[in-house]
C-alpha cells in the first residue's frame, strides 16, 4: 500500500471513529461534541491504524474496536445499558450498586436519625434530614471497608450521646429526649474551640457527623431546592449574575463582556 493511500485510510478511519463518537450519548460527556468513551474510541482507532494499514476496510474497523476495548475495558455501547454500563473504574451512576454490607444496627440507625434531625430539622423550607434518607447515607459511608476509622468514631460518639441522656435526664436513650434536652447535650460539643477540654473528642465527633449529614442532605433533590441550586436544568436564556452579586464582587456588567 502506498504512503498516499495509507494517509487517506488513516484520515478516513479517524473521521469515521470521531463521527461515531459524536453520536454516542451518555452521562460522561467531555464537551458538546464527543463523550469520554467516544474520545477513547478515536484514540483506539488511531492506535489500530498501524496494524490495519495492510488490511481490508472491514478488518481495520474490527481492529479499531479491539484496540478500543483493550484501552477502555468496555464495549463502546453496552447493549444492556447504553447510557452508563460502568466498570470497576467507571461505575454506573444511573443504577449504582453498593458492594459492601451495611453494618449499623437498627438501634444505631434510630440514634443516627434522631441526631441527624438535631443538625438539620424540618422547617418551612425543607424536610428533616431523616426524611430524605440521610441515615441510610451515613450507614453506607461508615460501612465501607475503607472507613473503619469513621465507623469506630461514630459508634463511640453515639454511645456517648446515650450515656449523657441517661446520666443527665434519666432517659432510656438519646432519641427519647425532648428536643430541648437533645440541644442541651449537643450545644456543649457543636463547636470544638468552645468545648470543654474533656469534651474535645466528642466535639470532633460532632463535627465529623455534621459533615456527613450535610453532605447527605444537600445532595438530595430536597436539599438542592433548599439551597436554591438550579444546575442541570435547561434555561431558555441567561441574563448573567444579578447586579447585587456583581456589586459585592466589585464588578460591573461590562467586566463580563
Going residue by residue through the chain, which has 257 residues, state the pLDDT in tens, using 9 for 90 and above. 555 554 455 455 455 545 554 554 444 444 445 555 555 554 555 554 454 444 555 555 555 455 544 544 444 444 444 444 555 566 666 677 788 999 999 999 999 999 999 999 999 999 999 999 999 999 999 999 999 999 999 999 999 999 999 999 999 999 999 999 999 999 999 999 999 999 999 999 999 999 999 999 999 999 998 988 877 777 788 788 888 888 888 887 666 66
Residues 114 and 61 in one domain: no
Structural domain includes residue 166: yes
Contact 227, 219 (CB under 8 A): no
Same domain, 132 and 215: yes
**Structural domain range at position 40:** 3-72
Q: Is 53 helix (H, G, I), strand (E, B) or coil?
A: coil
User: Is there a single domain that holds both residue 216 and residue 111?
Assistant: yes
- Same domain membership, residue 17 and residue 116: no
CA 146/CA 173 separation, integer angstroms: 29
Quote the radius of gyration of the chain (alpha carbons, Å): 27
In angstroms, the CA 186 to CA 158 distance is: 12
204 and 137 belong to one structural domain? yes
Residues 127 and 34 both lie in one domain: no
Same-domain status, 116 and 66: no
Assigned domain for 234 exists:
no
What letters, b where the CB count within 10 A reaches 16 and e where it falls short, cover 65-81? bebbeeebeeebbeeee
How many domains does the chain fold into? 2
Tell whether pTM > 0.75. Answer: no
Q: Are residues 110 and 223 in the same domain?
A: yes
Amino acid at each position: 500500500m502506498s504512503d498516499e493511500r495509507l494517509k487517506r485510510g488513516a484520515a478516513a478511519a479517524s473521521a469515521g471513529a470521531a463521527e461515531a463518537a459524536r453520536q454516542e450519548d451518555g452521562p460522561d460527556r467531555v464537551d458538546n461534541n464527543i463523550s469520554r468513551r467516544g474520545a477513547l474510541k478515536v484514540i483506539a482507532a488511531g492506535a489500530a491504524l498501524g496494524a490495519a494499514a495492510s488490511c481490508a476496510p472491514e478488518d481495520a474497523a474490527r481492529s479499531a474496536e479491539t484496540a478500543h476495548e483493550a484501552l477502555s475495558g468496555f464495549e463502546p455501547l453496552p447493549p444492556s445499558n447504553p447510557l452508563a454500563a460502568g466498570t470497576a473504574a467507571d461505575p454506573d451512576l444511573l443504577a449504582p450498586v453498593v458492594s459492601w454490607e451495611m453494618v449499623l444496627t437498627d438501634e444505631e440507625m434510630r440514634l443516627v436519625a434522631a441526631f441527624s434531625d438535631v443538625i438539620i430539622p424540618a422547617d418551612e423550607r425543607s424536610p428533616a434530614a431523616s426524611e430524605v434518607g440521610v441515615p441510610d447515607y451515613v450507614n453506607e459511608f461508615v460501612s465501607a471497608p475503607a472507613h473503619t476509622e469513621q465507623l469506630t468514631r461514630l459508634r463511640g460518639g453515639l454511645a456517648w450521646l446515650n450515656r449523657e441522656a441517661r446520666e443527665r435526664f434519666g432517659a432510656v436513650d438519646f432519641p427519647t429526649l425532648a428536643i430541648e434536652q437533645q440541644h442541651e447535650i449537643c450545644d456543649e460539643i457543636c463547636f470544638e474551640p468552645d468545648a470543654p477540654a474533656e469534651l474535645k473528642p466528642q466535639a470532633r465527633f460532632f463535627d465529623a457527623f455534621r459533615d456527613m449529614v450535610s453532605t447527605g442532605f444537600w445532595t438530595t433533590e430536597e436539599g438542592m431546592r433548599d439551597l436554591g441550586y438550579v444546575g442541570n436544568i435547561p434555561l431558555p436564556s441567561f441574563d448573567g449574575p444579578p447586579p447585587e452579586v456583581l456589586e459585592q464582587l466589585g464588578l460591573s456588567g461590562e467586566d463580563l463582556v
